[in-house]
Structure 1
Amino acid sequence: VKLIIQIPCLNEEATLPITLKDLPEKIDGIDCIETLVIDDGSTDKTVAAAQKHNVNHILKFTNNKGLAKAFMYGMNHALTLGADIIVNTDADNQYFGGDIAKLIQPILDKRADIVIGNRQVDTIRHFSPIKIFLQKFGSWIVGQLSGTTIPDATSGFRAYSREAALQMNVVSDFTYTVETIISAGKKNLAIEHIPVRTNKKLRESRLFPSI
């Protein structure tokens, strides 16, 4: 079983090395773990940082295409590389890499096609009350639209089986997180969620820096 961990990046030379060091080198049930960095038109030394830390595969865009397109290009490239499972994580080291093993376990057990990491936003100290409310309300809306019960619909820490990844298609230019859950729900893919840990904030959110 081949696992590819994909990391969309935009000007992450400072945080990418920390994220990469946090990733697991071995997981029970996985024969091969590879990393894929999608550089979304960075103007810093993100690519050099990826190369220095022996990232297996690098996709480099000459201009910024947006997070949603970077995500989809990464997924499609991971499929081309023969991934059986694809894990998406953020380059800012928000998510604890040690939880990747339990994130993919429902897929290895054939219980799920997609697994979403639930950050348990109530426990994240740097999330403001308004951000927590918006996260929960947004997840409820997504649940109504998709017929799923995902408590953290905007989490970027998620795992896809090869079969699920082949069915993903993101139209939005803004973000992939919500659209892929709604699409998966309508396609009757099995979606699970598990509690995951988060790391200390290294930088402000690029999507919602003020809340």
Structure 2
Amino acid sequence: MPVAHLVIVMPAYNEAEGIRGFIDEIRDNVASLATRVTFVVADDQSTDATVATLTGIDGVHVYPQPVNRGHGPTALAAYRAGLDLEPDMLVHVDGDGQFVGPDFARLIRAVESTGADVVHGVRHSRTDPWYRRTLTGCVGMLVALAAGRRVPDVNTPLRGYRPEALRVLIDAVPVEALVPHVHFSLAEARAGFVVRYLSVRSIPRRGSSTNGTMWGSGVKVTLPPRRLREFAAAALREAWQYSLRPGAPLRSIRPLSDAPEGARP
């Protein structure tokens, strides 16, 4: 049975070269699985033509952010705008287009067939710089220690949520969080969310410009750039404050099985 209303949300920054084609590819692959498909793009004050590229396209809603805030806050803004549209399923993916269309169809089918609260797309064949992959691995080990179990690809940006489960997470995470998906993954593991994992292909960012991506990875370098080192330190402090320390706010997320009647799908 098709999803009545599928909402796909994207944070984006300087993705004019590839985002239109990425949206078209996703739409082509999921059209048969949903009665209605809506795209929500939260633009983080792009300096290129990202907003103009998407303006006026049927089914695409663009939300320019008031200031440049970085990936985490922009992703949360996209999630919130998507939830406001009252979807029956919500999929998040970054606007840099590092996934392929058929995997979106597989993700949606997995949410539907497994009854999961969330399905994570676990990336294989990643082409990101070694330090990005290393950082993901280190964060994964930290989350595994805190959650008591391994969470594959803990910071993956490709996720399919049932709205009821997503609202529990969104309500608990600060709007300016730098690494919301790390908080989400840890809270899901601790609170007893039904999580499934789907292996998906990772491809290089779409577009040849080096001034795109919200992570500053367009330029080929051999060592972690200063911006990423500073971000990693700030993200670690945030993870400790909100998710890891004794008494951290996100430790109080209730298991969905304990939620009030009607709160689970």
Scaled to the shorter chain, the TM-score interval is 0.7 to 0.9
Answering whether residue 52 of structure 2 is matched by residue 48 of structure 1, we say yes
Separation in 1 of the partners of 2:164 and 2:177? 23
Match of 2:98 among 57, 69, 94: 94
1:132-151 map, 5 Å: 132-151=133-152
Alpha-carbon displacement from aligned partner over 1:114-134 (angstroms, at most 9, x marks no partner): 1111112xx33x344554343
- Is the CA contact (8 Å cut-off) linking 1:20 and 1:53 kept in structure 2? no
Could you list the per-position Cα deviations for residues 4-28 of structure 1 after superposition, in whole angstroms to 9, with x for gaps in the alignment?
Answer: 0111111211121232122134455
Aligned twin of 2:38:
34
Identity of aligned residues (%): 23
1:24–1:127 distance in 2 versus 1, CA, 3 Å:
same
Q: Distance in 2 between matches of 1:143 and 1:168?
A: 19
Q: Given the two structures, how large is their TM-score scaled by the length of structure 1?
A: 0.86
Q: Quick check: 70-79 or 3-12, which moved more?
A: 70-79
Contact 2:71–2:214 (CA under 8 A) maintained in structure 1: no
1:14 aligned residue (17, 20, 24): 17
CA–CA distance in structure 2, aligned partners of residues 130 and 82 of structure 1: 38
Give the SS at the match of 1:189: coil
Instruction: Find 2:116's aligned residue among 99, 106, 112.
Output: 112
Q: Summarize the Cα distance change of 1:153–1:43 in structure 2 as closer, same or farther, 3 Å threshold.
A: same
Give structure 2 stretches of 5+ with no counterpart.
Answer: 225-265
Q: If you compute each CA radius of gyration, which structure gives the higher value, 1 or 2?
A: 2
The answer to which of 192-201 and 164-173 deviates more is: 164-173
- The secondary structure found in structure 2 opposite 1:199 is coil
Which consecutive unaligned segments of at least 5 residues does structure 1 have? none
State the number of aligned residues. 208
Kept in 1, the 8 Å contact 2:11–2:44? The answer is yes
Q: Per-residue displacement from partner, 1:155-210 (whole Å, max 9, x unpaired)?
A: 11111111111111323532222111112223211111110012233466643634
Deviation at 1:29, TM superposition (A): 4.6
Separation in 2, partners of 1:139, 1:152: 7
* SS of aligned partner of 1:59: strand
* Higher helix proportion (structure 1 or 2): 2
1:99-153 alpha-carbon deviations (Å, 9 max, x no partner): 1111122321253111111112xx33x3445543433332222222234432211
Q: Is the 8 A contact 2:91 2:160 kept in 1?
A: yes
Q: Distance in 2 between matches of 1:148 and 1:194?
A: 17
Kept in 1: contact 2:120–2:158 (CA 8 A): yes
* Structure-2 change in CA distance of 1:192 and 1:53 (3 Å): same
Match of 2:185 among 175, 181, 202: 181
Q: Distance in 2 between matches of 1:148 and 1:103?
A: 23
Which range is displaced more, 160-169 or 64-73? 64-73
Q: Choose from 24, 29, 38 the match for 2:27.
A: 24
Q: What TM-score, normalized by structure 2, do the two folds share?
A: 0.70
Deviation at 1:56, TM superposition (A): 2.3
Asked whether the equivalents of residues 40 and 65 of structure 1 are also in contact (C-alpha less than 8 Å), the reply is: yes
